[in-house]
């Protein structure tokens, strides 16, 4: 008989076949074949009565496939595909209704309908996908835990525990379809193997598909004994899968009755997610997404109406409707987003404050406080969904930990999504004791989010009842924003934007009609309508609406961040530059300080362009730390900390060299196509930026603006929103300058907020601002200056 293409056959495999009381010796072989088949995956074919035939998929499951994989020396089964996944075979269909326990040594030892007895077509041919060259064995081993063994050169051998860690174990668990790695064990915990030791010094990133893809010394190269054999413990009955999933986030899938299935989201909440995250050793639950957030699964839905207290060790310990009892579709598949291998603990700790501990190499350990600062704490707070870092306490503020100290000299830029992405000395490298354990205090119940948000500007969101929700902008003002900025350690409030300035948030609205004095330490201390009570006001009909029709009124804040101007003679937009770092304010040394550097500071403080970059403690000498030296900005950065510098606290300066800035303050140029010296004119007044109406706007007016901004001579005074139409407040109109004034506010004008558009066709003013706003929008004044730059 001709051998088919893609056939992988067990060479000269002879099996003694026993059937009931009868004994029969027959030459029976098994192979995997078909389109896309490999040595350990393909359509199952049996050689019987001198011909190859297939197996029908009636009742074909993972137990049946497990027997085939073992028989072929292909490790553990991963899937038991049906419906001719590897193409339809030809000829005989030898077996049907195969029922294996999973422990049999041969497929023919399992129950079946009898040789050639079936009611199937080849469109039902059964297949297997095995893990190939890997298996778990040893004393106390299970399908998903045991001593790791590799099949190579026709012999099974072990893996040495040198350098064996959770990344390596993660690859193994993935390869054998056992969910996520919980532990990576060394020193033969499942008993010492025998024979060959195939791999040593395995180093996986965790993303490989097979252990043999990881770096190692080479097959058979080692200096180990079997007392060092490596093992794994995988999550087994639970895994995270789906589009965009990671080791600690994804669609929750549960293994039951030899099949993976999903969990329905009826009643799914953060307590349920917490159990999953703990079970997978993934830290704290951040979100409990519903509605197939990670894509819809297939097949069974095993659990529904899951109700956990949050303290259970396994999801199956929680109340539920029973395995397979549900009325759900896969569009309701539940998911989790966990913080990953990080947690806060210790005396006086809360969900968002405590001693920082990292999970590595199967054990929790602390972080040394050497170099620990607010940037490092910021990454931790973001990672555990706790808002912004308020403090970065050192010296075992939450009590001393025990065991390992995993990280030391951590240096984060703030942009990292995980603490382990920051620079550090390496896991376990330190010269610390536990009395130096680092901690964090995060803002917890408040965060800033949305399009264009930063650490200190964005849509205000509150965490309540295990859900993040928005703040409605009814009555939202600068006093309210001031409380938020203080709570987040972000300095002073600059603006209190409304109308979903940073984009519309989620469905839940937690607070409305907030009234703060500005002195409160938390937004929740301010007067408000009550949790979840929001009543949008329609100004046209002069009535409240008690529904959710007025979507898009989210409150936001813009704070000054970690920078301030202070000193003798300082103003809101001029003074000695000070930076907040590691819980203290410090100055900036003038080495290399220039107008580009000052430009970044002025932009960061919403103070318009930089006019001067004074040096030599122009606003008086500061005290305490000098945080920055040799600052080098291009002028386009959003924050002074984005610029190059010598490092926090690295300098050879005295406070007689403290740097300062003088910004234009109440005026700026902005809009489409704007530059430092050309754009739409905007004025800062009453804590709000507003526009200038172009009635009577001419070159004399523009000349004052150009001089005020240190931009040389006025070349043009464009009108009609030449740089694009602004939004919101119009502060000045009918400006008349001689051209010699030093500030635009010194010129004659109609008064702050008094703008009366002139209709040149009808030759009259309109004193109805509503009429103007609706029909005469787009008359913003602009300037084009020569652009002279004076340092």
- Dump pLDDT digits (tens) for 323-337: 899 999 999 999 998
User: Residue 772 — very low, low, confident or very high, per pLDDT cuts 50/70/90?
Assistant: very low
pLDDT, residue 110, reads 93
* Domain made up of 29-130: CATH architecture: Roll (3.10)
- Give the pLDDT mean for 99-120: 91
Query: What's the CATH class of domain 446-559?
Result: alpha beta
Q: How confident is the model at residue 771 (pLDDT cuts 50, 70, 90)?
A: very low
What CATH code would you report for 563-663? Answer: 3.10.250.10
Query: Of the given ranges (257-266, 504-513, 775-784), which has the lowest mean pLDDT?
Result: 775-784
Task: Give residue 74's pLDDT band: very low, low, confident or very high (50, 70, 90).
Answer: confident
Mean pLDDT, residues 63-84 taken together: 86
Helix (H, G, I), strand (E, B) or coil at 701: helix
Query: Are 640 and 633 in contact, with CB atoms under 8 Å apart?
Result: yes
**Counting every residue, how long is the chain?**
791
Q: Which of 217, 92, 231 is closest to 169 using CA atoms?
A: 231
- Whether residue 575 is predicted with pLDDT greater than 70 in this model: the reply is yes
pLDDT at 547 over 70: no
Distance, CA of 464 to chain centre? 20
- The number of angstroms, rounded, from the C-alpha of 422 to the middle of its chain's C-alpha atoms is 15
Q: Is there a contact between 339 and 430 (Cβ–Cβ < 8 Å)?
A: no
pLDDT at res. 719 = 93
Alpha-carbon separation of residue 534 from 43, 179, 467, 520 (angstroms):
61, 43, 16, 22
- Mean pLDDT confidence for 735-741: 88
Q: What does the pLDDT look like over 407-438, one tens digit per residue?
A: 999 999 877 878 988 999 989 999 999 999 99
User: How many CA atoms does the CB half-sphere of 412 hold within 13 Å?
Assistant: 25
| Average pLDDT of the residues in 743-771 | 63
The pTM is what?
A: 0.39
What is the average per-residue pLDDT within 453-467?
A: 80
Cβ neighbors of 22 (< 8 A, separation 6 or more) are: none
Give the lowest-confidence range in 278-287, 403-412, 629-638.
278-287
Task: Output the pLDDT for position 693.
Answer: 92
- Residue 374: what are its φ and ψ, rounded to 5°? -65, -30
The string of pLDDT tens digits covering residues 224-241 is 999 999 999 887 678 888
More confident residue, 661 or 776: 661
Cα separation values, 219 from 160, 181, 196, 212, 440, Å: 11, 24, 10, 9, 45
Q: Which helix (H) or strand (E) holds 700?
A: helix 699-708
Q: Which of the following CATH numbers is that of domain 238-338: 3.40.50.2300, 3.90.1150.10, 3.10.250.10, 1.20.1250.20?
A: 3.10.250.10
The burial of 113, by beta-carbon neighbours within 10 Å (0-12 exposed, 13-18 middle, 19 or more buried), is given as middle
Q: Residue 657 and residue 631: Cα distance in Å, rounded?
A: 13
Determine the pLDDT at residue 79. 82
How does residue 561 score in pLDDT terms, banded at 50, 70 and 90?
low
Better-scored residue on pLDDT, 408 or 145: 408
**134-234: CATH number:** 3.10.250.10
Closest CA to 779 of 735, 698, 725, 699: 725
Give the span between the Cα atoms of 180 and 166, in whole angstroms.
Answer: 10
Alpha carbon distance, N-terminus to C-terminus of the chain: 91
Q: How many helices (H) and strands (E) does the chain have?
A: 8, 49
Q: What integer pLDDT is reported at residue 157 of this predicted model?
A: 93
Q: What is the pLDDT of residue 752?
A: 83
Residue 751 has pLDDT above 50, yes or no: yes
What pLDDT is recorded for position 611?
A: 81
Q: Which CATH number fits domain 667-760+770-785: 3.10.250.10, 3.10.28.10, 2.60.120.10, 3.40.50.300?
A: 3.10.250.10
Instruction: List pLDDT tens digits, range 588-610.
Output: 999 999 999 998 998 877 677 78
- Cβ(680)–Cβ(720) below 8 Å: no
Quote the CA–CA distance of 681 and 691 in Å, as a whole number.
6
Pick 785 or 311 by higher pLDDT: 785
**Taking 80 as the threshold, does the pLDDT of residue 473 lie above it?**
yes
Q: Where in the chain is the domain with CATH 3.10.250.10?
A: 29-130, 134-234, 238-338, 342-442, 446-559, 563-663, 667-760+770-785
Instruction: Indicate if the pLDDT at residue 4 is higher than 70.
Output: no
Q: Is the pLDDT score of 773 beyond 50?
A: no
Architecture of the domain whose range is 342-442: Roll (3.10)
pLDDT higher than threshold 70 for residue 640: yes
* Mean pLDDT in residue range 671-688: 82
Q: What is the mean pLDDT of the chain?
A: 82
Mean pLDDT for 257-275 is 88
Name the more confident of 647 and 593.
593
Q: What pLDDT band is residue 5 in, cutting at 50, 70 and 90?
A: very low
- pLDDT at residue 374, as a whole number: 87
d(CA 119, CA 112): 13
Arithmetic mean of pLDDT, 480-501: 84
So what's the pLDDT on residue 258?
A: 62
- The closest of 548, 631, 550 to 586, measured between CA atoms, is 631
Question: Which of the 8 DSSP states describes residue 28?
Answer: -
Query: pLDDT at residue 305 above 90?
Result: yes
Average pLDDT (379-389) is 81
pLDDT higher than threshold 50 for residue 121? yes
- Whole-angstrom distance, CA of residue 523 vs CA of residue 512: 11
Residue 406: the pLDDT is 94
> What is the percent of the chain with per-residue pLDDT over 90, rounded to a whole number?
35
For residue range 707-732, list pLDDT tens digits in order. Answer: 888 788 899 999 999 999 887 788 89
- pLDDT: which is higher, 392 or 444: 392
pLDDT tens digits, one per residue of 323-376? 899 999 999 999 998 877 788 888 877 778 889 999 876 578 999 999 999 889
Sequence-distant (≥ 6) Cβ neighbours of residue 371 within 8 angstroms: 408, 409, 410, 411
């Amino acid at each position: 008989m001709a051998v088919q293409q893609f056939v992988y056959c067990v060479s000269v495999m002879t099996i003694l076949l026993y059937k009931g009381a009868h004994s029969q010796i027959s030459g029976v072989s098994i192979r995997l074949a078909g389109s896309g088949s490999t040595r350990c995956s393909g359509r199952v074919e049996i050689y019987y009565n001198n011909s190859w035939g297939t197996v029908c998929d009636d009742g074909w499951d993972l137990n049946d496939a497990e027997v085939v994989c073992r028989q072929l020396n292909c490790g553990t089964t991963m899937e038991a595909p049906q419906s001719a996944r590897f193409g339809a075979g030809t000829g005989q269909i030898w077996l049907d209704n195969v029922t294996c326990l999973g422990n049999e040594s041969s497929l023919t030892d399992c129950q079946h309908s009898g040789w050639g007895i079936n009611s199937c077509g080849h469109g039902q041919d059964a297949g297997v996908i095995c893990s190939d060259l890997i298996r778990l064995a040893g004393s106390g081993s299970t399908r998903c835990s045991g001593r790791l063994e590799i099949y190579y050169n026709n012999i099974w051998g072990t893996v040495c525990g040198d350098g064996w860690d959770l990344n390596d174990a993660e690859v193994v668990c993935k390869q054998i379809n056992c969910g996520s790695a919980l532990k990576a064990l060394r020193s033969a915990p499942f008993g010492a193997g025998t024979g060959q030791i195939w791999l040593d010094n395995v180093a996986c990133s965790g993303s490989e598909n097979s252990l043999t893809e990881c770096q190692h010394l080479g097959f058979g190269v080692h200096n180990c004994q079997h007392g060092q054999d490596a093992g794994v413990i995988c999550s087994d009955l639970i895994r995270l899968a789906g589009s965009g999933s990671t080791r600690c986030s994804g669609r929750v899938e549960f293994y039951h009755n030899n099949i993976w299935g999903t969990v329905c989201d009826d009643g799914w909440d953060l307590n349920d997610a917490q159990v999953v995250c703990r079970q997978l050793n993934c830290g704290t639950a951040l979100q409990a997404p519903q509605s197939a957030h990670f894509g819809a699964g297939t097949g069974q839905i095993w659990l529904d109406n899951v109700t956990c207290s949050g303290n259970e060790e396994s999801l199956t310990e929680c109340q539920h409707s029973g395995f397979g009892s549900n009325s759900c579709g896969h569009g309701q598949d539940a998911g989790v987003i966990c913080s990953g291998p990080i947690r806060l603990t210790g005396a006086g700790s809360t969900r968002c404050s405590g001693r920082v501990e990292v999970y590595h190499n199967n054990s929790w350990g602390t972080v040394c406080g050497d170099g620990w600062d607010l940037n490092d704490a910021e990454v931790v707070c973001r990672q555990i969904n706790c808002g912004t870092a308020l403090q970065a306490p050192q010296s075992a503020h939450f009590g001393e930990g025990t065991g390992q100290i995993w990280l030391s000299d951590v240096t984060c830029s703030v942009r990292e999504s995980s603490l382990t992405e920051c620079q550090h000395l390496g896991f376990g490298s330190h010269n610390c004791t536990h009395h130096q354990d680092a901690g964090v205090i995060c803002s917890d119940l408040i965060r800033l989010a949305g399009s264009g948000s930063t650490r200190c500007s964005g849509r205000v969101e509150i965490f309540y009842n295990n859900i993040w929700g928005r703040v409605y902008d009814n009555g939202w003002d600068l006093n309210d924003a001031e409380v938020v900025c203080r709570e987040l350690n972000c300095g002073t409030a600059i603006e209190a934007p409304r109308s979903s300035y940073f984009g519309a948030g989620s469905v839940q609205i937690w607070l409305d009609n907030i009234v703060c004095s500005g002195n409160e330490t938390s937004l929740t201390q301010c007067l408000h309508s009550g949790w979840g009570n929001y009543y949008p006001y329609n100004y046209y009909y002069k009535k409240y609406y008690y529904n959710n029709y007025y979507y898009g009124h989210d409150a936001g804040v813009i704070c000054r961040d970690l920078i301030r101007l202070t000193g003798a003679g300082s103003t809101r937009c001029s003074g000695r530059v000070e930076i907040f770092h590691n819980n203290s304010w410090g100055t900036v040394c003038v080495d290399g300080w220039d107008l580009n550097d000052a430009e970044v500071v002025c932009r960061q403080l919403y103070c318009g362009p930089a006019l001067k970059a004074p040096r030599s403690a122009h606003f008086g000498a500061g005290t305490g730390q000098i945080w920055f030296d040799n600052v080098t900005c291009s002028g386009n950065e959003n924050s002074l900390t984005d610029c190059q510098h010598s490092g926090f606290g690295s300098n050879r300066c005295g406070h007689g060299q403290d740097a300062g800035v003088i910004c234009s303050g109440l005026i700026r140029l902005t809009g489409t196509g704007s530059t430092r010296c050309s754009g739409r004119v905007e004025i800062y007044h009453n804590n709000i930026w507003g526009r200038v109406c172009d009635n009577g706007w001419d070159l004399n007016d523009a000349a004052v603006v150009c001089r005020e901004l240190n931009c040389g001579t006025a070349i043009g005074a464009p009108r009609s929103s030449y740089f694009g139409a602004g939004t919101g407040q119009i502060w000045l109109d009918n400006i008349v300058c001689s051209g010699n004034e030093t500030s635009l506010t010194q010129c004659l004008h109609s008064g702050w907020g008094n703008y009366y558009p002139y209709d040149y066709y009808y030759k009259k003013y309109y004193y109805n601002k509503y009429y103007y706003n609706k029909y005469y929008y787009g008359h913003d004044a602009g300037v084009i200056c020569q652009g002279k730059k004076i340092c």
